[in-house]
Amino acid sequence: MTAVLEPAATRAPQSLAELTGRARRIRQHIVDVCTGGEGGHLGGSLSLVEVLTALYFDVLTVDPERPQAPERDIFLLSKGHGAVGLYATLAERGFFDPAELAGFGRPGSRLMAHPVCAVPGVEMPTGSLGHGLALGVGFALAARLDRSPRRTYVALGDGELQEGSVWEAAAGAAGLGLDQLTAVVDRNGFQLTGVTEQICPLEPLADRWRSFGWAVREVDGNDMAQVQSALRAAPWTPGRPSVLIARTVKGAGVPFVADRVASHYVRFTERQHARASAALRRQARGDGDD
């Protein structure tokens, strides 16, 4: 353990093989957690796995041994219902023992179904949508005033963008010129009861962010190389906050729930768990989806 963490800018990129391997293990954790018990928010956790993996295993300056290290970067899961994915990632990264994941949502566990600060690595509690970006603006503004190299990353759901407070923060961040701030939109196209474009349309989403003064990039959010490359390169325009629109598949990695609204909250049976795990193993071997 070094006294001061090495910033991402001077670290060599993590290999794609390492990242994809981690992503598969994180997906397995998520599938495990969403089996039995209370179940969990499966679809929106799986869709964000490449983003979480690229951040925690390559981009973010963090130290699992020192979750509060002052020189760390900040990640906020504004779409707090993706807690299963965040917990799985934190556990895989070493912030806590992955065995603890089995207690998710159960009496006495600290793994509440929306992120809480009692979990090592969680910076702020989230879950009520529309809070994370303003918090991120606060962290980024603090870093600027502190003359700190700290970067702040905020993951938003696409349905979450229907909350007006997101756009207060978006306008505020651009007005302040906070290029220390990067937002990621998990654009999986679904919200709780259906398709975003049929409920409260968001497109043209990139134009919307651009018109608020943000630097915008769009990638296949389940393509690790694209996600890693884009996140490592931020800020893309000096003086502007960056937003990565990650076009993802809700439930990505588990073919029999992927791209379906029903993947939002799932409690797998043991048989479904076996089927999902087999699909993840096949992807690891390169056999493709079933």
211 touches another protein by CB under 8 A: no
198 touches another protein by CB under 8 A: no
In 3D space, the residue among 110, 101, 157 whose CA is nearest the CA of residue 132 turns out to be 157
Report residue 130 as tokens.
Answer: 């529309």
In this chain, which stretch among 137-145, 209-217, 263-271, 276-284 interacts with another protein, using CB under 8 A?
137-145
Cis preceding linkage at 255, omega within 30: no
Q: Give the nearer residue to another protein in terms of CB position, either 101 or 166.
A: 166
Contact 83, 117 (CB under 8 A): no
Q: Give the number of C-alpha atoms closer than 13 A to the C-alpha of residue 127, restricted to the C-beta side.
A: 11
x/- letters, 102..131, toward another protein (CB under 8 A): ---------------x-----xxx--x-xx
Report residue 69 as tokens.
Answer: 């290290």
Least distance to another protein from the beta carbon of 152, Å? 8
Q: Regarding beta strands 190-191 and 194-195, do their DSSP bridges make them parallel or antiparallel, or are they unpaired?
A: antiparallel
241 touches another protein by CB under 8 A: no
Report residue 42 as tokens.
Answer: 């499966």
Q: Give the nearer residue to another protein in terms of CB position, either 168 or 259.
A: 168
146 touches another protein by CB under 8 A: yes
d(CA 78, CA 160): 9
**Given candidates 102, 112, 142, 280, which one binds another protein under the rule CB under 8 A?**
142
Q: Give the nearer residue to another protein in terms of CB position, either 164 or 288.
A: 164
**Three-state DSSP state, 244:** strand
Least distance to another protein from the beta carbon of 173, Å? 9
**Given candidates 39, 172, 213, 255, which one binds another protein under the rule CB under 8 A?**
172
Beta strands in the chain (DSSP E): 74-77, 152-157, 181-187, 190-191, 194-195, 215-220, 242-247
CA angle at 99 for the pair 271 and 290, rounded to the nearest 5°: 35
Span 42-101, contacts to another protein by CB under 8 A: 74
x/- letters, 250..289, toward another protein (CB under 8 A): ----------------------------------------
Binding site residues, another protein, CB under 8 A: 74, 117, 123-125, 128, 130-131, 133-143, 145-146, 164-165, 168-169, 171-172, 175-176
